[in-house]
Amino acid sequence: MTPDAASIPDADGDTLSDADEGALEARDSDNDGHPDFEDDDSDSDGVSDSVEAGDSDLATPPLDSDTDGDPDYLDTDSDDNGIFDGIEGTGDSNNNGVPDSRDFDNDGDQIHGRGPSRCCLCM
């Protein structure tokens, strides 16, 4: 975390700044009655905002893994591989340091992860 980040407000402590979470307009992306800046899971995909933030630095913009304009914490399919983040979870099937929810190729077989992955089939 940079020194400047200590002065950036973060009401829910998920490492996404209140400004990034639309505190001014009290945006509530998943319409659960909790505005994003006070919601631990703003898109209700089962993966917490602190994980989907991408890093613990308040000064950096929220991560957008698939660069579709929706940051991961508001994107129910962060890696755009056709499998919802809540199904992929935050495990790391291929041990490449990228959680499955934002890893295009969970099993590392070089085949884009769209459709059922092998890890799901053997559960």
- Name the 3-class secondary structure at 37: helix
Q: Which span sits near Ca ion by CB under 5 A: 3-11, 54-62, 87-95, 99-107?
A: 3-11
Backbone region of residue 46 per phi and psi (left: phi > 0; alpha: psi in -120 to 50; beta: other values): left
Asked if residue 75 lies in contact with residue 108, where contact means CB atoms within 8 angstroms, the answer is no
Asked if residue 56 lies in contact with residue 49, where contact means CB atoms within 8 angstroms, the answer is no
Closer residue to Ca ion, CB minimum distance, 57 or 66: 66
Residue 38 binds Ca ion (CB under 5 A): no
Residue 43 binds Ca ion (CB under 5 A): yes
Residue 79 binds Ca ion (CB under 5 A): no
Residue 51 binds Ca ion (CB under 5 A): no
CB of 22 to Ca ion, least distance (A): 10
Query: What are the residues whose beta carbons fall under 8 Å from the beta carbon of 101, sequence distance 6 or more?
Result: 47, 51, 52, 72, 78, 79, 85, 88, 89, 90
Residues 52 to 71 in contact with Ca ion, rule: CB under 5 A: 64, 66, 68, 70
The site for Ca ion (CB under 5 A) is made up of 10, 12, 14, 16, 28, 30, 32, 34, 39, 41, 43, 45, 47, 64, 66, 68, 70, 75
